[in-house]
Amino acid sequence: MTDRDTPPEFRELLERAARLPKSIAPPRDLWPGIETRIAGKRPGKGERERGWLPWVLVPLAAAAILAVVLLGRRGTDERRGAWEVTRLAGLPVVGSSPLAASGAIRVGEWLETDDSSRAVILVGDIGHVEVKPDTRIRLVRAQRSDHRLALERGEIYAKVDAPPRLFFVDTPAGTAVDLGCAYTLAVDSSGNGTIHVTGGYVEFDWGGRRSIVPLGFRADTRQGFGPGTPYAEDASQALRQAVAAFDFANGGPAAVRRALAAARSEDAVAVWHLLERVDPSLRRAVYDRLASLVPPPAGVTSEGALRLDRTTLDTYWNTIRRIAWRRIILRGVRDIDPRTGVSR
């Protein structure tokens, strides 16, 4: 967007941004720390100094610069299929070698932590993954368009700041696809797990079954079933049990009805996912409940929703996910109506 085509609705926001106080006093006096660090030093000459570098020192300086560049590059090198990894605690193992401080994990190599070790992997230049204790994870691909890990068991916290669908984590129950987010992903010894999203959105796919898990939501995953229905962090036990029974225990219509009865407006994300998953005979009941929780936006009709028209479902989803996002992100700042997403 250029300055010329800034829509009018942005103007107030931009004016407010421009009026933000330019100066904020730090909570403590930072000068003593600065004074200690510059004590005994003369101000540097910066660029001017380099002009006086004796010619005899030029080859040495060039060698030093080359060494710094090479040392600086030793960690993450996507062209060679390796990412930088740093020990946080204990003694993680990369391949067959203990990780003393920092090193690299190469494509195909496993990183393993025991019950007292942790490590952080830098995901190219787009984010990082903290590997928690008792975890086994492998670097599958290290390409600009496909940053991919495989989590066999254990727990990771991933934070990625990149366009969607560049970072993937394969698990026995499916693949977590980053849509610009932060999340914790856990897998137990039987390949089942949970994903908890703390920023943005994650898509979880397995065999054509897909869940979109927004900020403030969780989804259980099961080997052989894929992702379950996402539920809010503060969802009731009754809703969690009902969707788990429906997703993984052949709970059928009874489980769906229990889920609908337990759902609040805050649970619209879960109910929206059920629309596509339930038996067609139940779809009307799911749609009616969803419409009572979050009124359908313009362009969404019951007919379109019942025949699973993609545009209709996506339009409804955009309203639901935006309300959920505002409710979570403005928690403690504004009281957001979970039916409409506006301040109460």
Report the interface residues with another protein, using CB under 8 A: 1-2, 9-10, 13-14, 16-28, 30-31, 33-35, 37-38, 41-49, 75, 84, 86, 88, 102, 120, 122, 128, 130, 157, 159, 161, 180, 182, 198-200, 215, 322, 325-326, 329-334, 342-343
Closest approach of Cβ 238 to another protein, in Å? Answer: 26
The residue among 153 and 159 lying less far from another protein, judged by its C-beta, is 159
Least separation in angstroms between residue 272's CB and another protein is: 18
CA distance 99 to 11: 52
Comparison of 33 and 207: residue with beta carbon closer to another protein: 33
Least distance (Å) between residue 133 CB and another protein: 14
Q: Please say whether the beta carbons of 157 and 132 come within 8 A.
A: yes
CB 120 within 8 A of CB 128: yes
To another protein, the closest distance from the beta carbon of 258 in angstroms equals 30
Please report how close the Cβ of residue 88 comes to another protein at its closest, in angstroms.
7
Closest CA to 304 of 295, 294, 315: 315
Q: To the nearest 5 percent, what fractions of the chain are helix, strand and coil?
A: 35, 30, 35
Tell me the C-alpha distance between 104 and 118, whole Å: 15
Q: How far is the CB of 302 from another protein (least distance, A)?
A: 27
Q: Rounded to whole angstroms, how far apart are CA atoms 43 and 38?
A: 9
Q: What is the CA angle 69-70-71, rounded to 5? A: 95
CB 137 within 8 A of CB 156: yes
Q: At what angle do helices 268-277 and 252-262 cross, to 10 degrees?
A: 160
Helices 310-329 + 268-277 axis angle, to 10: 160
CB of 260 to another protein, least distance (A): 28
Tokens of 133: 């204790």
Name the minimum Å distance from CB 323 to another protein: 10
Contacts of the segment 182-188: beta carbons below 8 A, 24+ positions apart = 182/157, 182/158, 183/157, 183/158, 183/213, 184/155, 184/156, 184/157, 184/158, 185/151, 185/155, 185/156, 185/158, 186/154, 186/155, 187/151, 187/152, 187/153, 187/154, 187/155, 187/221, 188/153
